[in-house]
């Protein structure tokens, strides 16, 4: 089971926390030894897109750690106050500076090891002018046979690209729900 055990100080009063099972609960929570506040830790959502231009997809080369210099799909942590689609669109704008139209959900990937859920939407590019942001070294289009499979930043990116190209071959897109070990 995934355990953060990373909260050492109370968010409310700064007091020391200990991990203990609160009454009426069934797992360890960081609990403040001073004000008794219980800190709940839950998975984070990562949202992104597969931007498509004809038979090509847009990948971004990461200018940030982790996996600096590796290729990825535009994606990032969802923010409060936005939907999954809005978050995916915002990340695509920030990282690639692309113009696009959002399409259907393609993948929902649970990454239990790091406490994350990754959601990727297909997006139809409207042109091929990109303006990558500071988190991206370069953004460019790849055909399936050009994808740098050994230089992809994350397993979720690799699996999502495989779902995309497999579905495209079949002529029908569906939602792929899977666990990433």
Is position 22 an interface residue for Zn ion (rule: CB under 5 A)? no
Minimum distance of Zn ion from residue 45's CB (angstroms) = 27
Cβ proximity to Zn ion, 12 vs 177, nearer residue: 12
* Among 7, 19, 37, 117, interactor with Zn ion by CB under 5 A: 37
* Among 18, 35, 44, 126, interactor with Zn ion by CB under 5 A: 35
Minimum distance of Zn ion from residue 15's CB (angstroms) = 4
**Phi and psi, residue 59, nearest 5°:** -120, 150
Strand ranges for the chain from DSSP E: 17-20, 29-32, 38-39, 44-53, 56-62, 71-72, 75-77, 100-111, 116-125, 136-143, 176-179
Minimum distance of Zn ion from residue 51's CB (angstroms) = 45
Give Cα 67 to chain centroid, integer Å.
14
Q: How many CA atoms lie within 13 A of 5 on its CB side?
A: 8
Is position 30 an interface residue for Zn ion (rule: CB under 5 A)? no
Is position 12 an interface residue for Zn ion (rule: CB under 5 A)? yes
**Token pair belonging to 80:** 């409060």
Is position 10 an interface residue for Zn ion (rule: CB under 5 A)? yes
Please state, in angstroms and rounded to a whole number, the distance separating the CA atoms of residues 157 and 23: 40
Burial of residue 78, with CB atoms counted within 10 A of its CB: 0-12 exposed, 13-18 middle, 19 or more buried: buried
Please state, in angstroms and rounded to a whole number, the distance separating the CA atoms of residues 171 and 174: 10
Minimum distance of Zn ion from residue 16's CB (angstroms) = 9
* Among 2, 3, 4, 13, interactor with Zn ion by CB under 5 A: 13
Looking at the chain, list the stretches that DSSP marks H as alpha helix, in order from N- to C-terminal side: 84-96, 155-170
Is position 7 an interface residue for Zn ion (rule: CB under 5 A)? no
Q: Stretches 4-12, 92-100, 144-152, 157-165: which one binds Zn ion (CB under 5 A)? A: 4-12
Is position 15 an interface residue for Zn ion (rule: CB under 5 A)? yes
Instruction: Tell me, by CB under 5 A, how many residues bind Zn ion.
Output: 8
Interface residues with Zn ion (CB under 5 A) are 10, 12-13, 15, 32, 34-35, 37
């Amino acid at each position: 089971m995934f355990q953060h055990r990373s909260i050492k100080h109370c968010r409310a009063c700064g007091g020391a926390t200990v991990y203990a099972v609160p009454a009426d609960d069934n797992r360890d929570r960081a609990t403040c030894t001073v004000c008794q506040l219980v800190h709940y830790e839950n998975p984070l959502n990562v949202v992104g897109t597969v931007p498509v231009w004809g038979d090509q997809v847009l990948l971004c080369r990461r200018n940030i750690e982790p996996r600096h210099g590796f290729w990825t799909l535009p994606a990032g942590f969802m923010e409060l106050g936005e939907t999954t689609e809005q978050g995916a669109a915002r990340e695509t704008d920030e990282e690639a500076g692309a113009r696009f139209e959002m399409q259907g959900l393609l993948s929902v990937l649970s990454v239990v090891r790091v406490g994350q859920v990754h959601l990727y939407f297909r997006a139809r590019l409207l042109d091929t002018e990109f303006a990558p942001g500071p988190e991206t070294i370069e953004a460019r289009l790849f055909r399936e046979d050009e994808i740098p499979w050994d230089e992809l930043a994350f397993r979720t990116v690799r699996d999502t690209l495989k779902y995309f190209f497999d579905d495209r071959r079949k002529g029908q897109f569906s939602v792929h729900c899977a666990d990433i070990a």
